[in-house]
Amino acid sequence: MIFLYLSITLISYIIAKKMYKLYPHPFLTPVLTGTCFVLVVIYSLNLSMADYAIVELIAGELLGPATVALAIPVYKHRSLIAAHVKEMACGIFAGVSAALFFSLISISLYNFTTGIATALLVKTTTVPIALELTAMQGGDVSLTVLTVMSTGVIGAVFGPKILSFFNIYHAVARGTAIGSIAHGIGTAHIVQEGELEGASSAVAMAAAGVSLSILLGIMH
Amino acid sequence: MLKQVFIFIFQLCLLWSIYYAGVLLSHQFNLILPGNVTGMVMLFILLYFKILPFKWVEKTGTFAVKHLGLLFIPFCAGVVLLDGITGQSLLLLLMIITLSTIIGILTAGKSFQWLHKKGEV
């Protein structure tokens, strides 16, 4: 049974990845389309979603070492970082703080549950880091995944257009801005503009994870 | 082929050890960083100061970063089990997320450019 669920997930991912290569639109992000395929197969074969939780458990085990590996793009592009270290650090920290500040304001305006409030606070970082932060703050896994994925897609769809509208054309600036807020989904999208954009976005994603952890830690 | 598999598993074990070291460190010293973030910072330090040769984690690490999304799918699928959230609150949530995302991206980009231009003058 586990094998069946694993195969469904893997095959869905491979098809989704191929589709994104053909049509690289943020709405067709492999994680999203892959998830849809998995759900369609599970419901049409009348399989149980509760049983599918075992795959989540396995993925959770692999997520730790995979997240650690996010240091690799940072290491690889250390000369790019060295050339723009001040701008990147300030851009990332300012961007993450601004998004967090806006979330804080909206949380104070509306009477959200702890789950939703936490999901809004951690939404700008990549899924595994957001999940860890959610566990530390006491939130809800599904709500966090929902806000994180939405942030990624919305950032990838509107981010580049908004940056252009405000005359931000520097490749590293664009990558940094997208990566620090729209994490992996944004990175997969902005890399189509160029290698420099993609590299700085991957670096920003990792650094933004550290920044958000520090900011939330201080607040807590 | 077998050698490739062996190398992959060895590198995965290495990444795993760094991850667990990060979790342990975060827990022991009550760090504000979650374990996986501590592990990530540790790996960067190890690579940067050449304590750990890059080759030792390159294969599995690069593969893991490239296919990180695969590991998100089960978590995303779990979102359908979410209940107690109405369409109205979902719409409000999406509006907040959209505004916050745009503000974040714009602030990051503008701060970068502002500092960059200041450096050029």
Q: Quick: pLDDT tens for A173-187.
A: 999 999 999 999 999
For residues B49 and B14, membership in a common domain is answered with yes
> What was the pLDDT predicted at B82?
85
Examine residue A18 and state whether it is found in any structural domain, yes or no. Answer: no
Q: Count the domains in chain A.
A: 1
Closest residue to A52, CB basis, from B37, B64, B77: B77
Indicate the Cα dihedral angle A48, B87, A179, A89, nearest 10°: -120
Examine residue A66 and state whether it is found in any structural domain, yes or no. Answer: no
* Section B33-41 average pLDDT: 97
CB contact under 8 A, A65 and B18: yes
Q: Tell me what ipTM this predicted complex has.
A: 0.94
Contacts of B47 in chain A (CB under 8 A): 71-72, 75
| C-beta neighbour count of A166 within 10 angstroms | 13
- Contact A175/A204 with Cβ under 8 angstroms? yes
Q: Is the pTM of this model over 0.90?
A: yes
* Section B95-120 average pLDDT: 94
Which ranges of chain A have pLDDT less than 70?
none
For residues B20 and B47, membership in a common domain is answered with yes
> What was the pLDDT predicted at A108?
95
List the 102-161 stretch of A: residues with Cβ below 8 A of B: 102-103, 106, 110, 116, 120, 123-124, 126-129, 131-133, 135-136, 141-143, 145-147, 149-151, 154-155, 158-159
- How far is the alpha carbon of A22 from chain B, nearest alpha carbon, in Å? 17
Question: Is residue B120 predicted with pLDDT exceeding 80?
Answer: no
- How far is the alpha carbon of B7 from chain A, nearest alpha carbon, in Å? 15
Q: Is the torsion defined by CA of A135, A141, A143, A148 positive or negative?
A: positive
- Contact B102/A99 with Cβ under 8 angstroms? no
> What was the pLDDT predicted at A56?
92
* Closest listed residue to residue B71, CA positions, set A116, A131, A113, A154: A131
Closest residue to A177, CB basis, from B37, B105, B116: B105
Question: Is residue B121 predicted with pLDDT exceeding 70?
Answer: no
- Domain residues for the domain of B5 are 1-68
> What was the pLDDT predicted at B119?
72
For residues B58 and B93, membership in a common domain is answered with no
A182 Cβ contact list (under 8 Å, min separation 6): A151, A152, A154, A155, A156, A159, A189, B101, B105
Burial of A214 (0-12, 13-18, 19+ CB in 10 A): middle
Structure-block tokens of residue A107: 């949380």
